[in-house]
Amino acid sequence: MAALVCCLFAFTACGGDDEPKVTTTATATYTINFSQDLIDATSIVVYYKGDDGNVRFEPVTSTTWVKTVTSNKFPAEFAFQIAYSPKDASSLTKDNYNLDVAASIEGSLNTSGSFYFSRTLMSAPTAKDKVIQVLENHSGKDVMGYVVAKNGTATAMTKVNLK
């Protein structure tokens, strides 16, 4: 009788509802908006953490760059870094350039959690004679990133270097 009672408690104590949710996949969408003046004044390359954390890069040719990536390796890192190569000063024909960059990372987890961060990386009305200097000062420093733990916690990365 005692053995039967022990077996009864053993089966009732094994409910699956109390187990913590474990993140097995995380997806992030990077969105970067560039002003047309910025596109006209420089060549842009975005380095980013791609699927499962592999570093990739793409040249930017339009005012909006969007990329969605997924990772099932944890901690998962989602990050990007922007490199600017200013065009020759003789190709700058306007007196002033609006050098604007706004970016965001929006992510979701298979456990229905999410994370989001956005900010302006550069917003500088700039005289033609200062454009090259401003772009060189920002190249490689316009970055954003998140680290996502297996429990679903997303934390902003303090350092990003993908180049």
pTM of the model: 0.85
Model confidence band, residue 51 (pLDDT cutoffs 50, 70, 90) = very high
pLDDT band at 4 (very low <50, low <70, confident <90, very high): very low
Higher pLDDT, 141 or 6: 141
pLDDT tens for each residue of 91-143? 999 999 999 999 999 999 998 889 999 999 999 899 999 999 999 999 999 99
What are the domain boundaries of the chain?
25-156
Check if the beta carbon of residue 124 is closer than 8 Å to that of residue 45. Answer: no
Q: What pLDDT shows up at residue 7?
A: 40
DSSP 8-class letter at 149: -
Local confidence band at 49 (pLDDT 50, 70, 90 cut-offs):
very high
Provide the pLDDT for residue 1. 45
**Edge-to-edge, what's the strand order for the sheet holding 26-34?**
64-71, 26-34, 96-109, 114-127
**Token pair recorded at residue 143:** 């970055």
Name which of 76, 84, 125 is nearest 105 in CA terms: 76
User: Is the distance from CB of 162 to CB of 47 less than 8 angstroms?
Assistant: yes
Q: Which of 14-18, 109-113, 127-131, 144-148 has the lowest mean pLDDT?
A: 14-18
Among the listed residues 144, 161, 113, 108, the one whose alpha carbon sits nearest the alpha carbon of residue 31:
144
Q: What is the pLDDT of residue 20?
A: 61
In terms of Cβ atoms closer than 10 Å to its own Cβ (0-12, 13-18, 19+), residue 23 is buried
Give which of 145, 134, 146, 140 is closest to 163, Cα–Cα: 140
What is the pLDDT of the chain when averaged over all its residues?
88
* Over residues 7-33, mean pLDDT: 68
- The model's confidence at residue 21, banded by pLDDT at 50, 70 and 90, is low
